[in-house]
Structures are given as structure tokens and as C-alpha cells.
Chain A
């Protein structure tokens, strides 16, 4: 009997909110909601407030209006940090994605040992963010490092790549390209989704390899490319560890690896100018949000959804 009543009750309430769901939701969402308020939303609002103050952790924050922002726009190192970060992002992310796509295409040919290659190429993605790899990079691209030893073998004399202002950022870009494995795996999954039928039909119509890539693979893969692009851009904008370790925390030589996050750290936790750091943080948020929005808007013109 009880079961039948239960059925009748749930039937009646079934389509929309069921009794008890609201209370259960409060229970299940409580930790997440507490985190959202305390660890995310409150600090977000607080940093906006702090960006209008001269807070230095020692005295209570004093309101100084837009001064942090005007100072920021007069600060050559701020612009240097922007330049370094944008150069890094705009050069290394496309290269990384191109490498990822190229390798995914090669691996997608149904060749033996796919799992093995996939693992080998993916490993750097897992390790790339660690301090240990940054230390390795500092040695490999140092004056007496591995790269120069190898070059010396061919009679080429290299420079100290990480200590040369023209090349230091390049070594970090190489590091980012080196971690192409994660987007490669996403591309591989995407390539699997393209029906073999399309390629067969195109072949019969006489389409060559390049033509099939241009007219089938690329358009059908644009949603995946877009997805990878958004993820990697956001990630690259926030990179910190590698530049910090390779430059010994300075962003040097001559500020050539002064990532935005590095400068923010230096201001906020090196010299405790927390108001200024908060202003920089909000500027970063606007840049990342703006970039993502532009990305989504632009996607209307090049991303193709096959449905």
C-alpha cells in the first residue's frame, strides 16, 4: 500500500519540483555554496574595493579612488608585463595547438602502438607545470646547458638562452609548446567523431589529401579547435611557475620574462602594495573575460557545428 501511495505521490509531482528536493539541494549544495561565497565571491568583491585603496597589510585600507589605476597606466613595467604576457600567449598557444593537431592527425591513421605514442607525447603535459621541469629548463637553456652542449657537438656556439633578454621568453614558449599532449588528446577524440564515410566519398570524387584536410577535417574540427583555444588561452594567461623559477623570481633578464602574474605577485606579496595588486588583478579579470568574449563572438564566423 505504501508503495502505491508513494507512486501516486511521485507521479503527481513528477514533472517538476519534487517534494523534498529543495531541502536536499540545500544540504548537498551547502559546501559548494559556502565556498562560492567565502572563497570566491567575497574575495572578488573585496579585491575590487581594495583596488581603490592603498592597503599594505599593516594599516587599515585608505580610500584613494582611481589612483592605483592611473598609476598603473603610468607604469612602464605594467606595460612591459602586458607585452610579455600577450607575446607569450599569442605566439605559443597557436604553435602548441598546431603541434597538437598535426600529431593527432598522424596518430589517427589507425597505426599500431597508438596508446604508447599517446602516452609518450602526453607525459610532458602532466609534468610541465612543475617546479622540477622549470629547474630542468633553466639548466637545459643555460650557458653551459644541455642545448649548448648538443650545439657544440655540431660546432655551433650558443648563447646563455635563459640569461639573454632576446631569447629568455622564447625558452618559456618552447616549454609551453612542449606540453601539446593534452590538446592533442582532445583533437584525437574529435577526429574519431568524423565519419569515415565523408573521406570515402571525397576520395571517390577525387579529392586529394590536402583537399580532404581543408574541406572535411578542418571544418568539422572547428568546435574542438575553438574549445582548445579558449582553454589554452586562459591557461597561458595565468602561467606563473615556469617564469618565476627560470628567472629566479625576478622576471628577468631586463624584465623580458616579467609575466603579468609575476608582476602582480611582486607587487602584492613582494612589496605588499595590495591595493595596486588588486587593481592589477581586476584588470587581468577584464582582459581574460574580454578575450574570452571576443573569442566566443568571433567563433560565430569560423566555428562550424554539424547539426
Chain B
């Protein structure tokens, strides 16, 4: 910025030094002792940050450790290393409910898979229309779409329940999946509109000249170029659906249809103090998929939050 005038002036003018460069020419601002102090402070900062992180994650680590402890130790041992091991928690927990826990994992997996596919297809289609097509009332519909993001689900859950129950959809996965096929997670429409707008228009103009219609531009140009946005959508849909409790609690009431969160809820309600070990073990099992997605999808998670502010 500071050397902008140099471009119009043919003579080689020295670029104006930046403020930090000016500051650097001043005689040694930091005597050696202060520099050593700065190094100490840097180390201290790391120590503090690590200690803070440890405190934050301690409950999680403790739950993991406790899932290998006999239940009575869970209520006596705040440490991380079990003094006695009990791997039986996992087998006990797995078989504690009517169905083996794998049944609930499978149910959750079906709901999650359907939701992810639904969101990817329907939200990207809507986003293409908002980002690339010119049609009557586009701004109005776009505004309505934005507002629907803020609508609390609790406001519409009662009529939704009535609607789905009149279709005999209660205790099926349809009430959880079909809305995703209809792009009701408008947040992802917004996310993809933002992304599509960043793709150079020249690309679709060129394709159009070569005779491509909108369907082909969408399939062959926009989607392949939007993999980061699609990945972010898939990852967040995965985590939200996996953790979702409210709608699954309402639409799934038959034990056979329970997903992981609902199964855990039944488990905790039936748990006396004697079976916290198995309960912790299944809680850990339920967190593993989210943790894996976190581990491998971090790049997209961070970018997704930073650009749109989702959780």
C-alpha cells in the first residue's frame, strides 16, 4: 500500500518503510534480559494454555478412563488411571437394553446417511438457483430462506407431528429424513450460495457457449468445484444429526426404532447407581463417530465455522 505511488512514477523511488521497519532501526529496544524474560513468558503462556486445555478436557478423559473402571470406583476415583480394570462395562452396556447397542448404532447410521445425502442434493440444488439463476422474486425468496434459518424448530414441531402421524410416519425414519430431502436445513443452502458465488462466472458462461444446460453446469462444473462446501455440509449434517435428540425423541417412540441418543436416554433413566460403568461405556461408544469426524474433517469444520458461524 505504501509503495503505490512508485507504480506511476518511473524513477526508482525507495519504497516507504513500514512502521515496524522504522521501529526496528531504533537502537536495540529490548535489552538481553528483557528478551530472556520474553522467552520465559512464551513458555509460561504455553504451560497455561495446556493446563487450561487439560482442565477443559478432563471430564471427557475421565469418562473415558471411568468406562474401564468397576462402577463403584467411578464414585470414588477422580484420577485418570484405573486402579482396577473392568472391560465388562462394554459388553454389559452393549446388551443392557432390549436390543444390542449395534441395533441403535445402525438406526442412527441410517438416519445420518439419509440426512447427509438429502442435504447435499437438495441444498446444493437450491443454492444453484439462488447463486446463478435470475428469476422473478429471487431476492424475496432468498430473504425468506434466510429467515427460515432462524425459525426455532419448537414452533413447528406440533403440527409437524400431527402431519407425520396422519401419514403414519411416526416410528419410521421418514420424518427425520424427508425434510432434509426438501432442503429444510436452510443454513446449508446459505453456505453453498456463498461458496457458489465465489466460483468465477466465466466458467459457466464458457460451458453455456459449448451448449451446456443448467443441469449439466450444475453437475459438471459447480458440484466438482464445490467439494469443500459439500464436505462442510456433510460433516456438520453428520454431527448435528448424530447428536440430535429433540426430534428423534418425538418421532421415535418404539424401542426397536430408537437411535443412539434415545437409547442412551432410556439407559440413563433406568440406571441406578450400580450401572454407571456400562452407561459411561456406551456414552463413549456414542461419541466415537463424532470424534472421528472431528479428527479427519477438522479443516472443513474450522473453515465452515469461520465463514458462516455454525457450531
Q: Chain A: residues with CB nearer than 8 A to chain B?
A: 2-3, 6-7, 10, 16-18, 20-22, 24-25, 27-29, 31-32, 34-36, 38-40, 42-44, 46-47, 50, 57, 106-107, 109, 111-113, 117-127, 129-133, 135-140, 144-146, 149-150, 153, 178-179, 182, 185-186, 188-189, 196-197, 200-201, 203-204, 227-228, 231, 234-235, 237-238, 240-241, 244-245, 248-249, 261, 264-265, 268-269, 274, 277-278, 281-282, 284-285, 288, 292
Q: Which residue of A lies closest to B78 (CB)?
A: A149
Contact indicator per residue, chain B 249-272, by CB within 8 Å of chain A (1) or not (0)? 110000000001100110011000
The 8 Å CB contact of A130, one of B49, B179, B189, B261, is B261
Q: What's the least CB distance linking B240 to chain A, in Å?
A: 8
Residue of B nearest to A15 (CB): B134
Q: Are B23 and A200 in contact (CB under 8 A)?
A: yes
B82 nearest CB across to chain A (Å) = 14
The answer to whether residues A186 and B309 also contact, given A24-B129, A43-B160 and a CB cut-off of 8 A, is yes
Contacts A17-B134, A17-B135, A36-B148; A47 near B182 (Cβ below 8 A): no
A32 engages B159 (CB within 8 Å): no
A283 to chain B minimum Cβ distance, whole angstroms, is 10
State the total of A-B contacts with C-beta under 8 angstroms: 287
Provide the bound-state CA to CA distance between A6 and B205, in Å: 11
- Choose among B133, B150, B269 the residue with the greatest number of A CB atoms under 10 Å from its CB: B133
Docked complex Cα distance between A278 and B250 (Å): 15
B159 x A50 contact (CB < 8 A): yes
18 A/B residue pairs, CB under 8 Å, sorted by A: A6-B211, A16-B134, A17-B136, A25-B129, A29-B125, A31-B182, A32-B123, A32-B145, A34-B182, A39-B160, A42-B159, A44-B155, A57-B165, A106-B49, A149-B76, A149-B77, A235-B311, A248-B268
In the complex, which residues of chain B have a beta carbon less than 8 angstroms from the beta carbon of A35? 122, 179, 181-184
10 more A-B contacts (CB under 8 A) besides A22-B135, A32-B186?
Answer: A22-B136, A29-B125, A35-B122, A39-B179, A47-B158, A126-B301, A129-B245, A131-B283, A136-B59, A227-B309
**B126 A138 Cβ-Cβ under 8 A:** no
Verify if B162 is at the interface (C-beta below 8 Å from A). Answer: yes
Complex-state Cα separation, A197 to B2, whole angstroms = 11
Which residue of chain A lies nearest to B179 when distances are taken between CB atoms in the complex?
A39
A185 in contact with B305 (CB, 8 Å): yes
Residues on A with beta carbons closer than 8 Å to the beta carbon of B140: none
User: Cβ of A28 and Cβ of B214 under 8 Å apart?
Assistant: yes
Interface centre among B145, B287, B311 (most CB of A within 10 A): B311
- If the complex has contacts A17-B135, A139-B276, A200-B19, are A6 and B209 also in contact, measured as CB distance less than 8 A? yes
**Known: A43-B160, A123-B57. Contact between A32 and B269, CB under 8 A?**
no
B294 within 8 A of A: yes
Q: How far is the CB of B81 from chain A (nearest CB, A)?
A: 15
A47 and B125 in contact, given A130-B243, A248-B269 (Cβ under 8 angstroms): no
CA–CA, A264 to B152, complex, Å?
12
Question: Are A131's CB and B261's CB within 8 A?
Answer: yes
Main secondary structure of the interface of A (DSSP, over half): helix
Bound CA span A188–B60, Å: 25
Asked whether B110 is an interface residue with its Cβ less than 8 Å from the other chain, the reply is: no
Q: Which of B148, B162, B182, B214 contacts A57 (CB 8 A)?
A: B162
Q: How many residues of B contact A (CB 8 A)?
A: 100
Pair A189/B306 contact, Cβ less than 8 Å: yes
Contact call A130/B287, Cβ cutoff below 8 A: yes
Out of B126, B148, B165, which one reaches A31, CB within 8 Å? B126
B46 in contact with A111 (CB, 8 Å)? yes
CA distance A32 to B60 in the complex (A): 39
Distance, CA A120 to CA B75, complexed state (A): 26
Residues of B within 8 A of A123 (CB): 57, 60, 291, 294
A271 to chain B, nearest CB (A): 13
B268 touches A126 (CB 8 A): no
Distance of B93 from chain A, by nearest CB (Å): 12
Shortest CB distance A22–B (Å): 5
Q: Are the C-beta atoms of A136 and B152 separated by less than 8 Å?
A: no
- A123 CB, nearest partner CB in chain B, Å: 6
B286 at the interface (CB under 8 A from A): yes
> Contact at B189–A43, with CB atoms within 8 Å?
no
Inside 8 A of B74's CB, which chain A residues have their CB? 139
- Closest A residue by C-beta to B261: A131
* Given A6-B209, A132-B283, A227-B309, A32 contacting B57 (CB threshold 8 A): no
- A32-B189 contact in complex given A200-B19, A285-B151, A288-B152, C-beta closer than 8 Å: yes
Task: Compute how far the CA of A107 lies from the CA of B298 in the bound complex, rounded to whole angstroms.
Answer: 17
Distance (whole angstroms) from the CB of B159 to the closest CB of chain A: 4
Nearest CB in chain A to that of B276: its residue = A139
Residues in B whose Cβ lies below 8 Å from that of A119 = 294, 298
Contact status A127-B245, CB under 8 Å: no
Report if B56 contacts A (CB, 8 A).
yes
CB of B53 within 8 Å of the partner chain: yes
Pair B184/A40 contact, Cβ less than 8 Å: yes
Tell me if B208 counts as interface (CB < 8 A to partner A): yes
Q: Contact: B134 with A269, CB < 8 Å?
A: no
